[in-house]
Structures are given as C-alpha cells and as structure tokens.
Structure 1
Amino acid sequence: MTQRNEAWPAGTPCWADLTASDLGRTQEFYRRVLGWEYGSPDPEHGGYCNALVDGRPAAGLSPAAPDLTGVPHVWQVHLASDRSDLCAERVLAAGGTQLVEPVEVGRLGWMGIFQDPTGATFGTWKAGEHIGFTAVDVPGTVAWCDLMTPDHHTARDFYAQVFGYHYEDIGEEGVPYATFTVPRGERPAGGIGGTDPAAENAPAVWSVCFQVEDVDAAVQRVRDAGGAVMEDPLDFQYGRLAVVAGPDRESFSIMAPA
C-alpha cells in the first residue's frame, strides 16, 4: 500500500468527511462497498471516527449532532493549509465567505469551513498530528477530488489567488475542465470544471471519487447495500467510472483507473 507520512502541500485536497444521520448504517454501507474498517469514535469530537484502509486513515465519518437539523449529508472536501489565519484572510480577500472560523481540533490540527464566490463549500486543514489521507493509490482510498461549478472562470481565479493553483485545460466537447497543480505539488492534485449547460440551476460543489478494483462489481455492492446508482458505469480516458449515492443520498464517484 502507498502511504503518505508528511503534510500535504497547501491547496491539495487532503481529507474528505461525511456527516451521517445513522453512523452505524453508514459505516456498514461503506464497509461493504469500499472495504473500510474504522477507528474508535472520538467522544471529544462528537463521535467522529476515521475510515481505515489497511489501518491507515482514508476518510472521516461523523454522526449528526442531535441538536442540529438540516445539516446536509455531503462529502466535504478539505484543502491543505500552511497557516489557517493567513488562508482565511486570502479567502476573504479573493471574494470568498467564512462559514466556520478556523479552530484548533486538539492536537490533530486546525480546521475552517469556507464558501467560494460560486457557492461551493470547502474545508481547510492545517495539519497537526493528523495530516489527512495517509492511505493513497489503492482501492478504498480517495482517487480524485474536483469542483464542478456554473462559473468555472470565477472559481479558477479564486483558487489561484488563495492557493496558487496552476491549471491545464483538458476539457472536451464544449465542457470546460482543467486539472490543477499546487505550488510544490508533484502531480495534478484535482480539477475544476463547468457544469452541464443543459442542467439549469446546477449547484457548485466539490465532490470526491474513490478508487475500486472493479467498477461494475462495486456498483452491484452499492445496490446490495441499499445505495443508489446515479450514473451507470462508463469508460473514459483515465479508466472506468460510475456515480452512486450512499444511505443519506450523499453522492460520490467510484473509479477503476486505467
């Protein structure tokens, strides 16, 4: 298994987590679909737990707080940050909005929640003892994170100002899409693209894609575990991909790389 043992460069998608209405049900779903095991829930942080691949953190799950209603059940992407306070200043200066002021999460690190000018929500994470993903490039781990937004020009300008993204356009058939590389990054870290022009009122959203060995077999596991298939498997330049949804209708992709 490929392991990451040092903090991710600033701007890199370094973590993804999900708030579940029924944590046990959600854990069982992802155990069956992605093969996850789990660390012990942390009472100090509301029962938050890490999903593990071969004992290494691959994502996070949290039970919904009983006093909070209407919390969206979506996979939240977190971008690495060198300095939480400076990052927050850059977000505001570039036209973003601060939803949750950066706070210290014990010895694990610092977390903030923001919204970019196109309406997409993202987290920031300054690593302490927890650097984010340490299990990478194997089935069950995050393979890719990207932002799809109706206003990709504004989004690209925003993330370039905040994190120094450098873009390479790879879009086809009139749908704009670009991979981005972060300063000190060794390879493309994610992507930003435009939503389908035919989809009216499409929201701006960061999304997550998990690696699997066999997409068609994983799609069947989704169905068997009570999930839904949003887009059937298809082949594309980089492998085979499907879009599915979990117990709370949270959408995510699964991919077998070419």
Structure 2
Amino acid sequence: MPARVPMTGAPCWVDLLTSDTARAEHFYGELFGWTAEHGDEERYGGYITFRKDGKMVGGCMRNDGSSGAPDTWSVYLASDDARRTVERAAELGGRVIVPAMDVPEQGVMAMVTDPSGAAVGVWQGRENPGIEVVAEPGTPNWFELHTRDYEPTLRFYEDVFGWQTSVMSDTDDFRYSTLGEGREQQAGVMDAAAMLPEGVPGLWGIYWGVEDTDACVEKAQSLGGSVLHPTDDTPFGRLATLADPTGAMFRIIQPPQR
C-alpha cells in the first residue's frame, strides 16, 4: 500500500497509555504481528513505536498512575496548527488536558476533550506524519466516537477540526454520521446516549483489522486479554470488543469478503 497522507482533521495517530509496557509489547506483538521500536529515554521518555511489516501503526507510553487515567488507547486528529486547534477547542467548550507541546523533530501534540467529555489527541506532524498503513490486518481499519451529546459534538468537530460530515443514519434507534462520505470516509460518530452508563463520558475507539475475528478472540484470551463484547456479524464485518491484559479496550473487525 502506498504511503498514507492523512487529511487535516482526520485520525492520523493512535497510542496506548499502559501501566505495563513490556506486557503490552508482548500482547500486541503476538496478537497483531507488531514489532516495537523503543525511543530514546531522555528525549522521548522511552516512547514505543509499533510497526506492522515495517510501517508505523501506533505508539505506546507508560502510565505511571499520576494522572489517575486508566490504561487506554487514544486517537489523534491531524492539525496544521496544533496550538490554534487547542485554543479553538477551549473556546468552544472543550477542556485542555495536555497543552500543545513540541516532540523533538517529530511534531507537536496536545490532548483535549470534546463537549461530551471524550478525550481526543491533536497531532501536527513533522518528521512523523502519523500512521503509515491502514485497512489491512494488524492495522487500523476504522475510528469511531461514541457520544452522549451527538449534535453538539458534531458541531464541535466541524468547527474545531474542519470536518465535513455526512449523515449515514438519523433514526431514533441509530444516529450516525461520518467524516467524509463514500470511499472517502475517515471516521464515524455514533449517538450512544442510550448505551453509555450514567456518568461515563464519550469515548474514541479503534477497530483493528484481523483476518479471522474468532481466532483473534481466542488468541487474545490465551495472552491474558478479555472479551468485553462477543463476536457479532454486521454489514461492515465480524466484530468483537476486547481488553488487553491491563484493561485497555479495543475492537477488532474482520471485513466482509467482497
């Protein structure tokens, strides 16, 4: 697959905050066939870059517990000006978790929340433009936000990140919009007000591509992971929701055969 250049506002990077980086490296390496590249401790705090067949697919950093955040995967959206994006997010009801900060040579990163409380990263790439391959086994296949404040949240991403959204469904049972449409879709937003437990904020999630969902579920369990939602056939593929050994949630998808 040719090099991927993410459009402004689209998901461009993902990383894992984990209390056990060695265990995460083993778990995802065995599950998805990833290799791990360890960054310089002094310059990058030991940040780990995950690669699939030599291509970057995400990163990993240690959760020391100081922030009180659970182990979790985060999604970053591409920005041409991370500092201005953070300012705009704060102006429109978002909260700044991590102000825009330089990552030497690599880019500028930040973390904010949207009005539903979902944390989302901001990435202005330099030497590291972001994820290099998608839509293959062991790589991101889809990015999705579950929110309890559907319409205000859509407006937030349109105003802050320049999204052009397209309505996929607008019924009482299923409200869903996408960033882009048709073959240009980059991410989805679901009205999850009826699904999210009281007090739980919105949440960004990642669907990792697999060749066989059932086999992947079995292997994840053998490696110490757990099943949060069992396998399910949908028009978009066979899905399952899993947690890694320290509790970080992720989804897997086996796309339908064409």
Output the TM-score relative to the length of structure 2.
0.92
Partner of 1:193: 190
For residues 37-90 of structure 1, the C-alpha deviation after alignment (integer angstroms, 9 at most, x for no partner) is 11133312111111100011101011224x725232110110000111221222
Letter aligned with residue 85 of structure 1 = R
How far residue 199 of structure 1 moved from its aligned partner, in angstroms, is 4.4
Quote the Cα distance in structure 2 between the aligned partners of 1:161 and 1:17: 25
Name the amino acid aligned to 2:109.
M
CA shift for structure 1 position 228: 0.3
**1:196–1:93 Cα change, 3 Å:** closer
Q: Match for residue 250 of structure 1?
A: 248
Of residues 155, 163, 166 in structure 1, which corresponds to 2:164? Answer: 166
Inter-partner Cα distance in structure 1 for 2:118 and 2:26: 29
CA RMSD of aligned residues (A): 1.9
The one-letter amino acid of 2:248's match is E
Match status 1:48 vs 2:47: yes
Contact 1:4 1:133 in 2 (8 A): no
Secondary structure class of the residue paired with 2:184: coil
Counterpart amino acid of 1:145? F
Sequence identity percentage? 32
State whether residues 149 and 193 of structure 2, in contact with CA within 8 Å, keep that contact through their aligned partners in structure 1.
no
Alignment of 1:14-93 (within 5 A): 14-43=12-41, 44-65=43-64, 68=66, 70-93=68-91
Where do 5+ consecutive residues of structure 1 fail to align?
none
Name the CA shift for 1:196/1:88 in 2 (closer, same or farther; >3 Å). Answer: closer
Aligned to 1:97: 95
1:83-232 matches, within 5 Å, as: 83-171=81-169, 174-181=173-180, 187-195=184-192, 197=194, 199-201=196-198, 202-232=200-230
Residues of 1 paired with 2:134 and 2:224: CA distance?
26
Q: TM-score, normalised by structure 1?
A: 0.92
1:112 deviation in Å?
0.7
1:97-140, Cα deviation, whole Å (9 max, x unpaired): 21211011000000011011111111100011001100222111
Note closer, same or farther for the CA distance 1:206–1:214 as it changes in structure 2 (3 Å cut): same
**In structure 2, what is the Cα distance between the partners aligned to 1:181 and 1:57?**
24
CA distance in 2, matches of 1:177, 1:25: 35
3-state SS in 2 of match to 1:130:
coil
Q: Which moved more, 1:193-202 or 1:160-169?
A: 193-202
Q: In structure 1, what is the Cα distance between the partners aligned to 2:172 and 2:235?
A: 14
Q: Give SS of 1:203's match.
A: coil
Unaligned runs of 5+ in 2: none
Give distance in 2, aligned partners of 1:179 and 1:69.
Answer: 32
Secondary structure of 1:135's counterpart equals coil
Residue 20 of structure 1: how far off its partner (Å): 1.4
Query: 1:247 Cα deviation (Å)?
Result: 1.4
CA distance in 2, matches of 1:225, 1:218: 10
Q: 1:181 to 1:42 in 2, by over 3 A?
A: farther
Alpha-carbon offset, residue 5 of structure 1: 4.9
The code of the aligned residue for 1:120 comes to A
Residues 46 and 127 from structure 1, CA distance in 2 versus in 1: closer, same or farther, beyond 3 angstroms? same
Structure 1 ranges of 4+ moved more than 6 A: none
Cα deviation for residue 93 of structure 1 reads 2.4
